[in-house]
A and B are shown apart, each in its own frame.
Chain A
Amino acid sequence: MRGFEYVVADSPASARALAGETDGARYYAGGTTLVDLMKSDVERPRRVVDISRLPLTAVELRGDAVRIGALARNSDVAYDANVAARFPVVAEALLSGASGQIRNAATIGGNLLQRTRCTYFRETRWRCNKREPGSGCDALDGFNRGHAILGTSEACIATYPGDLAIALCALEASVVVEGDGGERAVPLDALYVQPGERPERETTLAPGELIVAVELRAVPWYARSHYLKVRDRASFEFALASVACAVRLDGGRIAEARVALGGVATVPWRAREAEAALAGAAPSEETFRRAADAALAGAQPREHNAYKVELAKRAIVRALRTVCGGAA
């Protein structure tokens, strides 16, 4: 860990001002990702702007949307009655992540920006284009059992590690971002950027911009949604593959579906090909398998993660069967 300056913000505006004064400032909320990475010398902020006291913790129903403050704790959101009833996939995703202690500290905004668990990123001894642009990638031909098979590039195969963002991606949530021009809403899948040739750039956030909330439209059929996570350990473990899905059933057919994948892609992965395969089809094992095949059609496995192709497909089938209930 390097020496750094610690300042406390008392409003979103002051937070942005404090962050804007210095290159290499970082917002600090729950600290569950940032502090770890500072200790291992991966994150080296010159200034840490503590935003944890800002009044951004509310979870409110506003018209046809639920707005979740960026500083709401993961555990509080998971047990919020509106969230649990209207968006089960979000509550399930939150509760499948980390441990009870970490969920009590971690915040919604910070969780969305959680950084990859790629071991070659998290130790400074390795070559990593994400950490040191242009240095190369030791994961490509290294131990890549946990790495991504979707959205990868020759520069980076690091997996996006979170659970919440997968659920939000499926439900087409937006993040509310405060910047110099005021607030703007960014659809979740426009927040994240695939690595391409510039894996150091992970989001479309401008320097100093602050996530203040997440907005979810309360579409009635989102109540039929589900998050399935497959992992090594039974708890306190990142996904080998995870699936967030929601379906609108109509007259014995799947009228609409939302499917997003975690643990297998460089960003929260919206599986639009799977959704297209499901739309209008009768829920059946064949339909689910066809959707799963479509979702993974573009997978590019490497030496140790080839199993993820089949594992993710099976997880999709199981999640769809579950969410369709007895309809299959």
Chain B
Amino acid sequence: MIVTGERSAPLAAAAVTTERPATRGYVGLPVDRVDGRAKVTGAARYSADAAIDAPLHAVLVQSTIASGRITEIDERATRAVPGVVEVVTYRNAPRVPSFPFAFTTPVSEELAPLQTPEIKYDGQHVAAVVGTTFEAAREGAALLRIAYEPAPAELDAGTARQVDLPEQYFGQEAQVRRGDPEAAYAASEVRIDATYVTPTENHNPLEPSVTVAEWRDGELIVHDSTQWVRGTRAALAKHFGLDEERVRVFAPFIGGGFGCKGFFWAHTAIAAMAAKLTNRPVKLVLTREQMFTSVGYRSETRQRLRVGASRDGRLAAVLHDTLNESSRVATFVEAAGGVSEMLYDVPNVAISHRVARLDVPSATAMRAPGEAPGTYGLGSALDELAYACGLDPLEVLRRNHASVDPSNGLPFSSKHLLACYERGAEAFGWSTRPREPRAMREGDELVGWGVATATYPAMRAPAEARVTIAADGGVDVASATHDLGTGMYTILAQIAADALGVAPDAVTVRIGDSSLPNAPVAGGSMSSASVGPAVIDAARRARQRAIALAISSSDSPLYGLPEDDVETADGSMRAKDNPARAIAYGALARLNGGAIEALGGAAPAEEEKYSFHSFGAQFVEVRFDEELARLRVSRALGVFDCGRILNPKTARSQMIGGITMGIGMALLEETVRDPRYGAVVTNNLADYHVPVNADVPAVEVEFVEEPDYALNSLGARGVGEIGITGVAAAIANAVYHATGVRVRDLPIVPEKLLGTPAS
């Protein structure tokens, strides 16, 4: 048996807000985070805090050419550093295979680490220096001398020789045609033809990626900051030729991921390789600089949008052609065109996605992949259309509202986008907005308001959970899911408490351990919708067993009652007509030999009947100091339709985080590679600008709480990613409204607005 999993703190004293209304239960209440105390006191053990005795420390060395090969490695100075015990390179690394991405073995790159001298991109791992201390390993890494023979490198998506036209991305069609888009566009009364560019962006979670790897009796134990413990387990098993049962992956707490920890990256394998070579546990923490090349990024997109409409703003055609970049060893489609297929009621649509293969690191999913840049392109184009038609931009969104999914003709499972527009407009004061740009001014500043639609698909995947009722009445909920700071610990405790009729402080949640019942990647905003129903199922089964025991055991006060006459409340089973006739869950567990346990599961069911999406409306106010080209967001309001909200407090935090990230996307964030060498030159948080508090106004979030029971029994859709969508468009539209300048490439930095006349 290996190590025990981390446990969440019980709900206990933290949950001060859980006055339980008789009719509702705990789901839907703004319960405090059950892991909040552990996090603020430092008791929460993140991957780098894994309780491993005296691990060795590995520091990665990365390629400084974009293409070519290693010709020489001089390890002498490195090995002379006291404390350096091993230098792992392609010359001595354990042999591991390369294989393409599959959902069963989700490797990000088809490039086995440290196997050959070939270099595919600047930043590729070429060595790991292992030392008894981090300091020794770092000094050794600085002293490693590697000579390269560079080959010509292609670094610009615009001139790439190899441009793929993928058929699909994550099961969606990548090349889409509907109706006769070219003819409809040509015949349109109003036409917009514009290209929108979003730059390469990095996730920059607070916690860098970490792997602590240990081999014990032929088993591999890994503490890894991953959004997918089962995926990491499968990838490691395939790398090292092991049965999956001989690999165990822990990720009890994750300090943010946003997609960069969703799939498997090379450093995790390298940590395990180093542990194997040295026969010692090895801890490997990526540096902030290394995070810019080692765990993916959101690709730049170049989106040409041709939008044709009648003068009243009704869309006739949308042609959305988008190009993104990826490496020689991965194809990742940044599917910006996807939104044009389903978001508005358009009869004629053409969407193309192309991927330029370059000598650059590999792209991956970043918060709302596809939708985040896609809603910027489409949201900007519709704003341009509104001005071309002389219409209010929000009115154009309303007029093109799709009441069924135009991509497949299916009804939406639950769609309340019009309500989002309405509530947002009311709360924001939209009706007082003058249509013309440059019409609002306050002091030295121009003021502008913008709006855009938010959207993200509602997905779910098969999931399992185990519920165990112990002799003391405590409830253990276990599933191999994850909490990236999202609130998963908390909502699973709420869900289990309601399903069993116990107080939530009796529930302990265990997640982030690959040996627990299966759960999907914490990505695609699907964890709550997938794992929540599995917990309900397991809890119902456990409750069923408890009732069966209560009525069949002669030691029970409920002995002989019909099943239907028993109810559960406050941690007990009791007779409906006589609450005093009761037995506690703990006592039933003792009758059952100490525990009542049930495994449950849930899987998608009604996929064929409905189209599942979440929606929202983003309203933004900007202030622009024209003389200094100084732009700030002064108000932001998001109104979202995400089904039932399981915990308004954690859901609201997710949305505020998404909107904040959207502000960064619109105004600040850009990963710049040196155009000659292909190395990232903004590889730190001084040069890559994420918003600071002063950049973020008080963000307001509202939910249109309409449950979506077609998606699952909780009525909940995910809330992880939709928050960022539409934000950049709303800001760019507000900038146009304030200044009269349409910025079609992000981020909107001062030099792009200097051309406006100084007042």
User: Judging by beta carbons under 8 Å apart, are A143 and B681 in contact?
Assistant: yes
For the complex, what is the distance from the CA of A142 to the CA of B674, rounded to whole Å? 6
User: Judging by beta carbons under 8 Å apart, are A117 and B749 in contact?
Assistant: no
Q: Pick the most buried of B628, B629, B632, B672: most chain A CB atoms within 10 A of its CB.
A: B628
Residues of B within 8 Å of A315, CB to CB, are 628
B45 contacts the other chain (CB 8 A): no
Residues of B within 8 Å of A2, CB to CB, are 139, 142
User: Judging by beta carbons under 8 Å apart, are B750 and A230 in contact?
Assistant: yes
User: Judging by beta carbons under 8 Å apart, are B139 and A314 in contact?
Assistant: no
A220 contacts the other chain (CB 8 A): no
A94 nearest CB across to chain B (Å)? 17
A2-B139, A142-B681 given; A232·B674 CB < 8 A: no
Residues of A within 8 Å of B687, CB to CB, are 117, 119, 146
Number of B residues with CB within 8 Å of any CB on chain A = 35
A206 contacts the other chain (CB 8 A): no
User: Judging by beta carbons under 8 Å apart, are A233 and B681 in contact?
Assistant: no
User: Judging by beta carbons under 8 Å apart, are A138 and B64 in contact?
Assistant: no
A238 contacts the other chain (CB 8 A): yes
Number of A residues with CB within 8 Å of any CB on chain B = 33
Q: Is the interface of B mostly helix, strand, loop or mixed?
A: loop
User: Judging by beta carbons under 8 Å apart, are A138 and B692 in contact?
Assistant: no
User: Judging by beta carbons under 8 Å apart, are A318 and B693 in contact?
Assistant: no
For the complex, what is the distance from the CA of A123 to the CA of B692, rounded to whole Å? 25
User: Judging by beta carbons under 8 Å apart, are B694 and A307 in contact?
Assistant: no
Of B135, B628, B684, B694, which one neighbours A233 at CB under 8 angstroms? B694
User: Judging by beta carbons under 8 Å apart, are B692 and A41 in contact?
Assistant: no
**Chain A 108-145 interface mask (CB, 8 Å, partner B; 1/0):** 00000000010110111100000000000010011100
For the complex, what is the distance from the CA of A310 to the CA of B626, rounded to whole Å? 13
User: Judging by beta carbons under 8 Å apart, are A1 and B135 in contact?
Assistant: yes
User: Judging by beta carbons under 8 Å apart, are A142 and B676 in contact?
Assistant: yes
Q: How many A-B residue pairs have CB under 8 A?
A: 81
A204 contacts the other chain (CB 8 A): no
**Chain B 566-604 interface mask (CB, 8 Å, partner A; 1/0):** 000000000000000000000000000000000000000
Residues of A within 8 Å of B695, CB to CB, are 233-235
For the complex, what is the distance from the CA of A117 to the CA of B683, rounded to whole Å? 12
A48 contacts the other chain (CB 8 A): no
Residues of A within 8 Å of B679, CB to CB, are 125
Residues of A within 8 Å of B627, CB to CB, are 314, 317-318
For the complex, what is the distance from the CA of A311 to the CA of B752, rounded to whole Å? 11
Quick one: closest B residue to A289, CB to CB?
A: B758
A136 nearest CB across to chain B (Å)? 12
For the complex, what is the distance from the CA of A142 to the CA of B672, rounded to whole Å? 11
B100 contacts the other chain (CB 8 A): no
User: Judging by beta carbons under 8 Å apart, are B689 and A238 in contact?
Assistant: no
User: Judging by beta carbons under 8 Å apart, are A234 and B692 in contact?
Assistant: yes
User: Judging by beta carbons under 8 Å apart, are B750 and A233 in contact?
Assistant: no
The 3 A-B residue pairs whose C-beta atoms are closest, nearest first, are: A307-B751, A234-B694, A235-B694
Given contacts A3-B135, A142-B675, A232-B749, 18 further A-B contacts (CB under 8 A): A117-B686, A117-B687, A119-B681, A119-B687, A123-B683, A124-B142, A125-B679, A141-B676, A142-B676, A230-B629, A230-B630, A232-B668, A233-B692, A233-B695, A234-B692, A236-B694, A310-B754, A311-B751
Interface of B toward A, CB cutoff 8 Å: 64, 135, 138-139, 142, 289, 627-630, 632, 667-668, 672, 674-676, 679, 681-684, 686-687, 689, 691-695, 749-751, 754, 758
Interface of A toward B, CB cutoff 8 Å: 1-3, 41, 99, 117, 119-120, 122-125, 138, 141-143, 146, 230, 232-238, 240, 307, 310-311, 314-315, 317-318
